[in-house]
Amino acid sequence: MPLYSMMNLRASRHPSISYRPIRPSDLEVLVKIHGDLFPIRYEMEFFHNVVHGRDIVSWGAVDRNRPNDENDELIGFVTARIVMAKESEIEDMLRFDKSRSDQSLVYILTLGVVESYRNFGIATSLIREVIKYASDMPNCRAAYLHVISYNNSAIHLYQKMSFLCIRRLHAFYYIDGQHYDAYLFIYYVNGGRSPCSPLELVTLIMTYMRRGLKLVFSRVCKNSEKSGPKRVKYRDKGCLLPMTQSKRSITMEGPESDNV
């Protein structure tokens, strides 16, 4: 296939999209599409790992209704890697048995569709392939990815597919001398979930609040017993001991609450 810009590739009148693993024969086109679509430049080692399946799984989209010599050429792709949950950056966002070393995740590396083939649901189908792959691995607990903060179409896609945005990472990308934030999205599978459900989070917060109030109340009572008649004197001066003590308690409890 001639190496004209894949961004200007024309879709067939009635596309017939099918999906297959990426193969060594896709190397040249895969490099070209990445170069056209992404501001980040990938090393050739990455592409060789993709086409030869070295620690990377991948799916390609092709249009069977293109001319015969092009009906097996890539028009879209997704690449991913299996990582161990214990070694991942989202370990704190997972509830899993940490005594087991076989708990894994699928990290989506790149996803792209040439411009003329967008709005055919190809990206959605490619992500579904990844989700199915992750779901078919009994020890896998989630699929996750990063997306640059200004890529609104990608953000909308992941939200529509029920990915959860769990974190914003400041200055995650460095492109052409400028830093950009990234969002971290996750899709839980096989019973994987956040360490705290919304209900559990509220329950924990209420528990800490009750604990703090009890601590404040007990300390106020002790101070009152010790101060005796001086209590009125302090109040006349506007010295609000209960409030001061309460602030100290909140400060003590705060770090625990923030880490829930």
Cα–Cα distance for residue pair 204/260, rounded to 1 Å: 8
Crossing angle of helices 198-227 and 241-258, in 10° steps, is 150
Under the banding of pLDDT at 50, 70 and 90, the label for residue 198 is low
Count CA within 13 A, CB hemisphere, residue 89: 11
Query: C-alpha angle 92/79/22, rounded to 5°?
Result: 155
Buried-state track 2-17, b at ≥16 Cβ within 10 A, e below 16 = eeeebeebebbeebeb
Residue (of 134, 137, 140) closest to 192 by Cα position: 140
Q: Which amino acid is at 183?
A: Y
Higher pLDDT pick, 237 / 99: 99
What is the pTM assigned to this prediction? 0.71
Report pLDDT for 194.
Answer: 78
Handedness of CA 133, 113, 62, 79 (dihedral sign): negative
**pLDDT, mean over the chain:** 79
pLDDT tens track for 178-190? 999 999 999 999 9
Report pLDDT for 185.
Answer: 97
pLDDT tens track for 19-54? 999 999 999 999 999 999 999 899 999 999 999 999
- Identify which of 6-20, 58-72, 80-94, 236-250 has the greatest average pLDDT: 58-72
Cα–Cα distance for residue pair 158/79, rounded to 1 Å: 16
- Residue whose tokens read 């006349």: 236
pLDDT tens track for 202-259? 554 565 466 556 665 666 565 655 555 444 333 333 323 233 332 222 222 222 223 2
Tokens at residue 19, please?
């999906």
Q: What is the mean pLDDT of residues 60-76?
A: 93
Rg (CA), the chain: 27
Distances (CA, A) of 103 to 98, 167, 172: 8, 22, 26
Residue 147 has pLDDT above 60, yes or no: yes
H-helix segments, the chain: 27-37, 44-52, 122-135, 152-160, 198-227, 230-236, 241-258
What are residue 9's phi and psi, to 5 degrees? -60, 130
Helix, coil or strand: residue 253: helix
Helix, coil or strand: residue 166: strand
Residue (of 79, 74, 80, 78) closest to 17 by Cα position: 74
CB atoms near residue 200 (< 10 Å): 13
